Chain A
Amino acid sequence: MNRRTLLKAGAAAGGGLFLTLGLPPLIRRGLAQQPPMMNTPLLPGAFIRIAPDNIITIVSRNPEIGEGVKTMLPMLIAEELDADWANVRTEQADLDPAKYGFQGTGGSGATPSNWEPMRRVGAAGRAMLIEAAARRWNVPAGECRTEPSLVIHDRSDRRLSYGALADQAATLPAPELAGIKLKNSGQFRIIGKPTPGVDVPAIVTGSPMYGIDVSLPGMLYAVFEKCPVFGGKVVAANTDEVGKMPGVRQVLNVPGDGDPMGQFQAGIAIIADTWWQASKAREKLQVTWNNGPGAGQSSADFAREAAKLALTPAALTTRRDGDVAAAFGRAAHVVEAAYSYPFLAHATLEPQNCTALVANGRVELWAPTQNPSAGAELVGRTLSVPQSAITVHVTRCGGGFGRRLMTDYMVEAAWIASKAGAPVKLLWNRKDDIQHDFYRPAGYHHLKGAVDDSGHVIAWRQRFVTWGNNGAFAGGADVGDDNSPAGLVANYELDVSFIPQVVPTGPLRAPRSNALAFVSQAFLDELAVAAGRDPLQFRIDLLGPPRLLPGAGGGPPGFPPLPGLDTGRLRGVLELVREFSGWANRAALPAGTGMGVACYFCHRGYFAEVVQASVDKSGNVTVDRVWAAGDVGSQIINPLGAEAQVQGAVLDGLAEALGQAITIKNGSVEQENFDGFTLLRHSDAPPIEIRFLTTPYAPTGLGEPALPPVVPALCNAIYAATGKRIRDLPIDPNALKAG
């Protein structure tokens, strides 16, 4: 892959500098569920506008779901542009791969994929402004320097603002991005400074900015009833009766694409003058469904099937090192245990929605999406409209967590709008949202591990019963040959069995890791206890000497491939959290209170976390405090954003462990709203202490890697407090009752 990037200059509308660049392909893994959007061709895009009044507008190409990219990406450009941040305005890009390259949010990918390219854009802009000033003053460009939004020539004591230079800069040839010199970290004025979110003033005053807030002239509102059983189809419905309800314009039988777990399901859509009228009419809707192949599924049956499969030959051996059976034969301690975790919904607080206008052969969408390209492709395929006729306006998202990598709501809105003759806002209610998700897959693990008489792990065998058919994993239900602690235990075996199912699954924040870390780090704790070892030192010993393990592979050419585990970096965060959590003093905690530790490497980031939890006589768990140590490389770009992501990830993991489960009965989801599917509440949030190690590696993302360790750390803390081992999520207080 030729990583040469081009910078083009041209006059922007309204005057001022207008920079464009081409981008390298971006990371593939972490968004692996979405291959089509990763095939976006590499084309140039525009990022910077400088107005004569010195207001600098910087475009953020990635969708904002609360992870802070709309602040962070412009910070990178502004830093090297040497812009005065106070006069920087940021703008959310519409979908335009020709201008911006890849525009998805997921996989904690924004930082590693933008750290250099966005800074180079800014540096090129700065070089052009310097060149413009040098020509105007007739001095060598090398004698000029910049202060925020100013070019200065010290020898003649002259200075010009970027705004005064922008028009001239725009006429200059652009430098090669690859050859541009970047600042060293000691010269940073913006990167590394706590920088509040750019949209916060608008958020606290209630300004419209989310998908649900979109309003168009003549807009109608739609609700969409799908079969409670995944993949069910409409046999008959009382559409005439519903059509007579107040405000109702149309009642549509939506065919869907026929795939029981696909993104375009069948159902009945009601279009009305207001969303409330459409919802009221929906109460009268009676549909006879053909439930299809998913009818009769239940979580209880899945669990029984998983227990049976664990005893039968595996469908797949993912990895086999050494001789596990022989190692068990010579072990000092052997531990066996079964672990399980449930399906989880994403429950973004803004329910899924999309506004669509389909007219004159064109489709215009306003979508809160992490994945606008995939949405446009799905819509184009479904409506037989070329990509060139589809516009996607990316709105701020009221949460994402991976849910909005799927674009079902976009294709539904577009299909419905194509029949409406007017713009339509499709809005799901909460029950739609919880019962028609692409769930974090449940999973079942049977483990057998062994330690020798010196207290070291010598064998690990894991049978993973997951979802899929004939060796093909369902979405997000996969496991790699790097599954921890693979590579650290000489005798290691990982086998997989599959249960076929009709439950749509997909990525949830820290996909795979959010569940696999629970299993491996909780079972590791069992081995540490069996060996009579300090669980934290036990982990350090398991990591062994600092070295880089082979990665799972992947990553496109021309972009840094996903690295494997660096044992030294994981050890580093373990040592840091040991120090500032007061781990050594945990024996002094009162009865019923304990500390647990866990560590994990995922999405290029390293985290070790200690949880202190207390369990009362009724089995109620209180999380007293969490300590999180992270290593995401050489630079925390925005300390305020970084802290927020770690706090959020920790609380997200605690909520999952303490109470979340989606269960299936008679083919449909049992939970309907936040009473059945619980989120953490204000009073449940413990204090969280966060520290980062600075290490000499390129910075990586923080949306995800802080989540996985907190779940096993909590479970291990509960063991320390009660002597009771949590092997099934969510944590059941009844199982923790005293006596």
Chain B
Amino acid sequence: MAYSVSINGKQHSVDADGDTPLLWVLRDLLDMKGTKFGCGMALCGACTVHVDGAATRSCQTALSSVGSSRITTIEAIGETTVGRQIQEAWIAHDVPQCGYCQAGQIMSATALLATTPNPTDAQINDAMYGNLCRCGTYPRIHAAIKHAALAARGPA
């Protein structure tokens, strides 16, 4: 059946079964490959997108459940100020190794800073708990989030 979904500010018509996870709608039906498949069970966070601004695992989000929610993906997160600052911090700290988890990491970090502009270490740990990095980039992710938070506050 056909669904109309709002992704990165644009309405898309998607003809697929309602139980199709948003992850596969994005990747294979709409050819937006930035959102990654890691576990299929919301255990790794590689597929994190924003649903109405909240970090959400798209592998566990059925197409039929999206409704009129606004979906934002890694491809468009740089259009928000916080998203752009996070991406710049990721570049400044040379965060990625293999890079595969980083779209999900960036989506979770952006959702955190959007609601908590100056997070504590504990808040960063909590917000990023669900995003696995197999390469071990956590120290740089942590530093990059702090860097972006500082950048967002602007010159003192």
Give the interface of A toward B (CB within 8 A).
65-68, 194, 196-197, 199-201, 203-208, 210, 212-213, 215, 221, 246, 274-276, 280, 347-351, 396-401, 427, 429-430, 640, 644-645, 647-652, 655, 673-675, 679-685, 687-688
Interface 1/0 per residue, B99-140 and A, CB below 8 Å: 111110010000000000000000011101101111111111
A265 to B128, CA, bound (A): 38
A349 to B102, CA, bound (A): 11
B128: A residues at CB distance < 8 A: 682-683
Shortest distance from the beta carbon of A529 to any chain B beta carbon, whole Å: 30
A204: B residues at CB distance < 8 A: 74, 78, 87, 90-91, 95-96, 102, 106
A199: B residues at CB distance < 8 A: 96, 99
A171 to B90, CA, bound (A): 43
A65: B residues at CB distance < 8 A: 98
A67 to B99, CA, bound (A): 11
Instruction: Specify which of A399, A647, A675 is in contact with B100 (CB 8 Å cutoff).
Output: A399
A671 to B40, CA, bound (A): 15
A-B contact pairs, 22 of them (CB 8 A): A66-B96, A67-B97, A194-B94, A196-B91, A201-B91, A204-B74, A206-B32, A206-B33, A206-B74, A207-B34, A213-B33, A274-B28, A276-B24, A349-B44, A349-B133, A398-B98, A644-B135, A648-B97, A648-B137, A673-B39, A681-B129, A682-B124
The answer to whether B40 touches A349 (Cβ under 8 A) is no
Shortest distance from the beta carbon of A312 to any chain B beta carbon, whole Å: 40
Shortest distance from the beta carbon of A427 to any chain B beta carbon, whole Å: 8
The answer to whether B74 touches A398 (Cβ under 8 A) is no
- Within 61-109 of B, Cβ neighbours of A (below 8 Å) are at 73-75, 78, 87, 90-91, 94-103, 106
Given known pairs A206-B33, A430-B40, A430-B41, the reply for A687 and B96 (CB within 8 Å) is no
A207 to B16, CA, bound (A): 24
A430: B residues at CB distance < 8 A: 38-41
Shortest distance from the beta carbon of B2 to any chain A beta carbon, whole Å: 15
A213 to B139, CA, bound (A): 27
**Cβ-based interface call for B147 (8 A):** no
The 9 closest A-B pairs by CB, nearest first: A206-B34, A66-B98, A398-B100, A651-B136, A206-B74, A685-B138, A683-B125, A66-B97, A648-B136
Q: Main secondary structure on chain B at its contact with chain A?
A: loop
The answer to whether A349 touches B91 (Cβ under 8 A) is no
A650: B residues at CB distance < 8 A: 136
The answer to whether B91 touches A66 (Cβ under 8 A) is no
**Cβ-based interface call for B6 (8 A):** no
Place the interface of chain B in its size category: 35 or more
A651 to B34, CA, bound (A): 26
Closest to B89 in A: A204
The answer to whether A200 touches B99 (Cβ under 8 A) is yes
The answer to whether B90 touches A200 (Cβ under 8 A) is yes
A-B contacts counted at CB < 8 A amount to 178
The answer to whether A208 touches B34 (Cβ under 8 A) is yes
The answer to whether A429 touches B98 (Cβ under 8 A) is no
**Cβ-based interface call for B52 (8 A):** no
Most buried by B among A274, A280, A688: A274
A687: B residues at CB distance < 8 A: 139
The answer to whether A674 touches B95 (Cβ under 8 A) is no
A68: B residues at CB distance < 8 A: 97
A134 to B53, CA, bound (A): 61
The answer to whether A200 touches B24 (Cβ under 8 A) is no
A276 to B78, CA, bound (A): 29
Closest to A640 in B: B94
The answer to whether B97 touches A644 (Cβ under 8 A) is yes
B32: A residues at CB distance < 8 A: 206
B46: A residues at CB distance < 8 A: 349
The answer to whether B132 touches A681 (Cβ under 8 A) is yes
The answer to whether B31 touches A674 (Cβ under 8 A) is no
Shortest distance from the beta carbon of B58 to any chain A beta carbon, whole Å: 12
A347: B residues at CB distance < 8 A: 134
Closest to A431 in B: B40
A207: B residues at CB distance < 8 A: 34
**Cβ-based interface call for B150 (8 A):** no
The answer to whether B91 touches A200 (Cβ under 8 A) is yes
The answer to whether A197 touches B41 (Cβ under 8 A) is no
Most buried by B among A204, A280, A350: A204
A70 to B32, CA, bound (A): 24
A349: B residues at CB distance < 8 A: 36, 38, 44, 46, 98, 100-101, 132-134
**Cβ-based interface call for B141 (8 A):** yes
A430 to B90, CA, bound (A): 27
A274 to B106, CA, bound (A): 27
A640: B residues at CB distance < 8 A: 94
Closest to B73 in A: A206
- Within 15-32 of B, Cβ neighbours of A (below 8 Å) are at 16-17, 19-21, 24, 28-29, 31-32
Instruction: Specify which of A280, A400, A680 is in contact with B98 (CB 8 Å cutoff).
Output: A400
Shortest distance from the beta carbon of B73 to any chain A beta carbon, whole Å: 7
Given known pairs A205-B74, A205-B75, A397-B98, the reply for A276 and B20 (CB within 8 Å) is yes
Instruction: Specify which of A206, A401, A651 is in contact with B35 (CB 8 Å cutoff).
Output: A206
B103: A residues at CB distance < 8 A: 203, 206
Instruction: Specify which of A275, A350, A647, A679 is in contact with B139 (CB 8 Å cutoff).
Output: A647
Closest to B91 in A: A200
The answer to whether A679 touches B78 (Cβ under 8 A) is no
A427: B residues at CB distance < 8 A: 37
Closest to A205 in B: B78
A276: B residues at CB distance < 8 A: 16, 20-21, 24, 28
**Cβ-based interface call for B151 (8 A):** no
A683 to B123, CA, bound (A): 10
Given known pairs A348-B134, A400-B98, A682-B125, the reply for A212 and B78 (CB within 8 Å) is no
Closest to B78 in A: A205
A180 to B41, CA, bound (A): 56
Q: Besides the contacts A197-B94, A197-B96, A204-B96, what 8 more A-B pairs have beta carbons closer than 8 Å?
A: A68-B97, A210-B33, A349-B46, A427-B37, A644-B140, A673-B40, A673-B41, A682-B125
The answer to whether A399 touches B136 (Cβ under 8 A) is no
Shortest distance from the beta carbon of A351 to any chain B beta carbon, whole Å: 7
The answer to whether A652 touches B132 (Cβ under 8 A) is no
A165 to B122, CA, bound (A): 56
